A and B are shown apart, each in its own frame.
Chain A
Amino acid sequence: MTNDTFSITDEQRDYSQFGLEENPFPYSPVPDNDPALYCGQEHATRAISDTVSTMLSTGKSKHLVVTAKYGNGKSHTLKYTRSLVRDREDVVVGYVAQPGEGFRDIYHEFVYDLGFDRIQTLAYEYLAQVARNTTDCNPTDASTVEQLIDDGEVLLSELVPEAVQQLNNVTKFADFARAIVHMVYEDTNLYAWQWLTAEGIRYEQRKEMEIHSALDDDTTSVRAFTALKNLLLDLGYTGVFVFVDEFESIARLSAKAEQATLNSIRHLMDQNSHGLCMLFGCAPEVWQDVMSEYHAFSERIGQEVALRPLTDDHINKLVSTYIAPARTNGTGGVDPFTEESLSIIHQRSQGNIRQVLSVCSRVLDAAVDEERSRIDADFIQEEI
């Protein structure tokens, strides 16, 4: 028996014959967490910009659903939009990869995406606000108040009861207020984090923080989400952006669970007429069903925008945008692809961006292996 069936090597392919330093296309075309490129879909970008801008400028809640078939760029669109808004200091942005089993999972994923550090920073920001109002100190942000506490310039025991009281007034959820404040204590911050993410904690751990209720169902999760948003508005944030991807997966839930999830989201929207912007990514067929069967929910989402398959022009622009950063020879355009070859890729992929990227990546490697100088239509025909 020989072991030369497989040829495994870590030697890199040489793309210099095409004036490229690497294959710029992803082998597995999944969206980056922080995409740098966005191509085509001008009608979608207009609708998204309008939704996001309206919320930012007026503070009024506005929601949008982005529909498209698999591989046509829903996730990419959501993640690209997220990358644009999350650098703003006046909003909080969370991404939910898929809705899970119900609203509790959406809330869990959202808080998890914000992360422990961010929630802890929010707790300190609140203490800073309380310190500004109740002491002679004037901490401007989370790190300043943390430093004041570390240095003993303010008494933590004077800030905390006041913070719990004020936060309780703002959120109308005493347990949530206590959990937020407990984020600043080393002994209890992990319990507080577990409670805030709706992961569930033992009774003794809740007792340690004087938290009476368990955050373990859709109803309390909606309440906690609203409490978090109210905390943010009280801190001066404009609002919260929630990106819910793969919303079509609610279709695999039982009818009862699906209805409960949609109802919870509806309640959330009803309770938050200000400061909330939800963007959903959903397969069109599921969205059609939601539209026809769950009016109460779908009517609260102002707008739907459908992503369209890429055109020839879009594909040319997409390929040249991908290739540009890897070029070493100063040329531009779609070289080494020919216009005809991209046309064939368009036909075969039917404008599906995932397939376009996948084919481009594959044929570029094949062309290197066969030492070709161009990727023309014939070569594409052979390869796909």
Chain B
Amino acid sequence: MLYRQRTLNTPHGCIKTPVLFPVRNIGKRSSDNTPAYADAIPDLRTAMVNARAIRQRDPQWNRLLNGATLREEMDIPEETVIFADSGGFDFQAGDVDTTPARTLETQRQIGADILGTVDRPISRENRDRENQRRISDSAEYAVEASDEHDGEELLFASIHGLDPETVQNNVRYLERNGDFDGYALGSLVPVRTDYKKVTSIILAARRATDKHLHVYGLGGLVYQPLLLYLGVDSFDSSAFIRSAGNRNYLVPGFGGQELKHVTELSYLPCSCPVCRDTPFTELREDRNALTKHNLWALTMELRRFRYMVAANEDVEAYLDLRFQGNEVTKRAYRQAKQQVRRLT
């Protein structure tokens, strides 16, 4: 097992890793659709935002330029650690409309603690040549960002690749040519059902560097234990919002359950502060409450894993149990185990 615990020192405080960064939609819509969680969930003083989306929303951007802070806009405590990515996912189809310097300027303006470099995600649908170009572009953007960056914030180079060699090569290239506090691995969401590929890519990145490793977009319930097992230091997820939008109730160990199939139940089987006192019918109607519960579910997943390690329990045996209910994820975990032991 490659699980590890570290401390990440940021301008807005220290956080213990591994840690989840819940995705905040601020900047994307007229209002942030993420309910307040920072005070309710004490070990979740983190947030992931899209720097490009914030800059592109003029009213909000003007307020920020006029002295407002993003933390005030988001109504979160001052000590919340914010990870601002470049919004590269928006460049999947279109052209890059920013520069590494401009993105850094935006990220600093919003008071982000962790800055993700400009990147151009890749996809299996692209021609190989196009993907290779995007991988090279992302690497060069990261090197440019490194040259521009001289602040206290942490700079994470965004890296892409759909195979272990490319990812490993990218990390080592950036180690040589830039100065980064960590690496953020992207483009894995479109291939997330190919567990073997995803875990082999993550493992390649993990083995290529001892620095902080973040994985973009895979912090949902199913992937979280795998990421922890593979030694990933942080991850982000918007699964709790998306699932709530679809009235899906996240249950650790089971994934998302559609509430429309559940009837004649007084209370849901979770002891989080949301479910504890809220009747089932009320919870089902309240999207905000569902979002909060789902975030609790993600947090509980992480807490449980941390507990197993702290209690000196056999984590692999715990994960065997954890994944036994689903053949696909069970196989994924078995493959990850073999990859960690270098058996494949």
Q: Which residues of A contact B136 (CB under 8 A)?
A: 155, 157-158
**Is A6 part of the binding interface, using a Cβ–Cβ cutoff of 8 Å?**
no
Decide: B165 and A152 in contact? CB cutoff 8 A: no
**B 117-173 contacts with A by CB, 8 A:** 127-129, 132-133, 135-136, 139, 161, 163-166, 168-173
Q: Which of B163, B169, B175, B200 contacts A155 (CB 8 A)?
A: B169
Q: Which residues of A contact B132 (CB under 8 A)?
A: 157-158, 160-161
Q: Which of A152, A184, A187 contacts B175 (CB 8 A)?
A: A152
Decide: A152 and B135 in contact? CB cutoff 8 A: no
Decide: B163 and A152 in contact? CB cutoff 8 A: no
**B 171-228 contacts with A by CB, 8 A:** 171-176, 197, 200
Q: How far is the CB of B332 from chain A (nearest CB, A)?
A: 16
Within the assembled complex, what's the spacing in Å between the Cα atoms of A150 and B171?
Answer: 10
Nearest chain B residue, comparing its CB with the CB of A151: B172
Decide: A156 and B166 in contact? CB cutoff 8 A: yes
Within the assembled complex, what's the spacing in Å between the Cα atoms of A160 and B130?
Answer: 11
Query: How many contacting A-B pairs (Cβ < 8 A)?
Result: 63
Q: How far is the CB of A178 from chain B (nearest CB, A)?
A: 8
Within the assembled complex, what's the spacing in Å between the Cα atoms of A164 and B132?
Answer: 12
Decide: B129 and A155 in contact? CB cutoff 8 A: no
Q: How far is the CB of B208 from chain A (nearest CB, A)?
A: 8
Q: Which of B127, B133, B165 contacts A156 (CB 8 A)?
A: B165
Decide: A150 and B133 in contact? CB cutoff 8 A: no
Task: Using known A-B contacts A152-B176, A161-B133, determine if residue A188 contacts B169 with beta carbons closer than 8 Å.
Answer: no
Within the assembled complex, what's the spacing in Å between the Cα atoms of A158 and B136?
Answer: 6
Q: Which of B129, B164, B171, B175 contacts A186 (CB 8 A)?
A: B164
**Is A210 part of the binding interface, using a Cβ–Cβ cutoff of 8 Å?**
yes
Q: Which of B161, B173, B197, B200 contacts A152 (CB 8 A)?
A: B173
Contact with A along B88-110 (1 / 0, CB 8 A): 00000000000000000000000
Q: Which residues of B contact A188 (CB under 8 A)?
A: 163
Decide: B163 and A150 in contact? CB cutoff 8 A: no
Contact with B along A164-199 (1 / 0, CB 8 A): 100000000000001000001111100000000000
Within the assembled complex, what's the spacing in Å between the Cα atoms of A150 and B166?
Answer: 10
Decide: A155 and B168 in contact? CB cutoff 8 A: no
**Is A153 part of the binding interface, using a Cβ–Cβ cutoff of 8 Å?**
yes
Q: Which of A149, A178, A185 contacts B163 (CB 8 A)?
A: A185
Q: Which residues of A contact B172 (CB under 8 A)?
A: 150-152
Q: How far is the CB of A294 from chain B (nearest CB, A)?
A: 43
Task: Using known A-B contacts A186-B163, A188-B163, determine if residue A152 contacts B170 with beta carbons closer than 8 Å.
Answer: yes
Q: Which residues of A contact B139 (CB under 8 A)?
A: 155, 157
**B 218-266 contacts with A by CB, 8 A:** none
Q: Which residues of A contact B164 (CB under 8 A)?
A: 186-187
Q: How far is the CB of A326 from chain B (nearest CB, A)?
A: 45
Q: Which of A157, A161, A210 contacts B170 (CB 8 A)?
A: A157
Q: How far is the CB of B340 from chain A (nearest CB, A)?
A: 15
How many residues of chain A get a CB closer than 8 Å to chain B's CBs?
20
Nearest chain A residue, comparing its CB with the CB of B204: A186
Task: Using known A-B contacts A157-B132, A157-B139, A161-B133, determine if residue A149 contacts B200 with beta carbons closer than 8 Å.
Answer: no
Nearest chain B residue, comparing its CB with the CB of A207: B124
Within the assembled complex, what's the spacing in Å between the Cα atoms of A184 and B135?
Answer: 17
Q: Which residues of A contact B135 (CB under 8 A)?
A: 155, 157
Contact with B along A141-153 (1 / 0, CB 8 A): 0000000011111
Q: Which of A155, A164, A178 contacts B173 (CB 8 A)?
A: A155
Q: Which residues of A contact B127 (CB under 8 A)?
A: 210
Within the assembled complex, what's the spacing in Å between the Cα atoms of A207 and B8?
Answer: 41
Nearest chain A residue, comparing its CB with the CB of B197: A187
Greatest chain B CB density within 10 A among A153, A154, A187 is at A187
Nearest chain A residue, comparing its CB with the CB of B200: A187
Q: Which residues of A contact B173 (CB under 8 A)?
A: 152-155
Greatest chain B CB density within 10 A among A149, A151, A155 is at A155
Q: How far is the CB of A211 from chain B (nearest CB, A)?
A: 10
Q: Which residues of B contact A154 (CB under 8 A)?
A: 173
Within the assembled complex, what's the spacing in Å between the Cα atoms of A161 and B135?
Answer: 11
Within the assembled complex, what's the spacing in Å between the Cα atoms of A178 and B129?
Answer: 11
Within the assembled complex, what's the spacing in Å between the Cα atoms of A210 and B128?
Answer: 7
Q: Which residues of B contact A210 (CB under 8 A)?
A: 127-128
Q: Which residues of B contact A150 (CB under 8 A)?
A: 168-169, 172
Decide: A156 and B129 in contact? CB cutoff 8 A: no
Decide: B171 and A184 in contact? CB cutoff 8 A: no
Within the assembled complex, what's the spacing in Å between the Cα atoms of A149 and B176?
Answer: 12
Within the assembled complex, what's the spacing in Å between the Cα atoms of A119 and B127?
Answer: 25
Nearest chain A residue, comparing its CB with the CB of B128: A210
Within the assembled complex, what's the spacing in Å between the Cα atoms of A155 and B173?
Answer: 7
Decide: A186 and B165 in contact? CB cutoff 8 A: yes
Nearest chain A residue, comparing its CB with the CB of B175: A152
Q: Which of B128, B129, B165 contacts A149 (CB 8 A)?
A: B165
Q: How far is the CB of A96 from chain B (nearest CB, A)?
A: 32
Q: How far is the CB of B141 from chain A (nearest CB, A)?
A: 13
Q: Which residues of A contact B197 (CB under 8 A)?
A: 187
Q: How far is the CB of A179 from chain B (nearest CB, A)?
A: 12
Within the assembled complex, what's the spacing in Å between the Cα atoms of A154 and B165?
Answer: 12
Q: Which residues of B contact A186 (CB under 8 A)?
A: 163-165, 200
Give the 10 A-B CB pairs with smallest separation, nearest first: A152-B172, A152-B173, A157-B135, A156-B169, A157-B132, A157-B136, A187-B163, A161-B132, A161-B129, A185-B163
24 A-B pairs with CB atoms under 8 Å apart are A149-B165, A150-B169, A152-B170, A152-B173, A152-B174, A152-B175, A153-B176, A155-B169, A156-B165, A156-B166, A157-B133, A157-B136, A157-B139, A157-B161, A158-B136, A160-B128, A161-B133, A164-B128, A164-B129, A186-B165, A186-B200, A187-B164, A187-B200, A210-B127
Interface residues, chain A, with chain B CB atoms under 8 Å away: 149-158, 160-161, 164, 178, 184-188, 210
A-B contact sample (12 more), CB < 8 A, given A161-B133, A185-B165, A186-B200: A149-B169, A150-B168, A150-B172, A151-B176, A155-B136, A155-B139, A157-B132, A157-B135, A157-B170, A161-B128, A185-B163, A187-B164
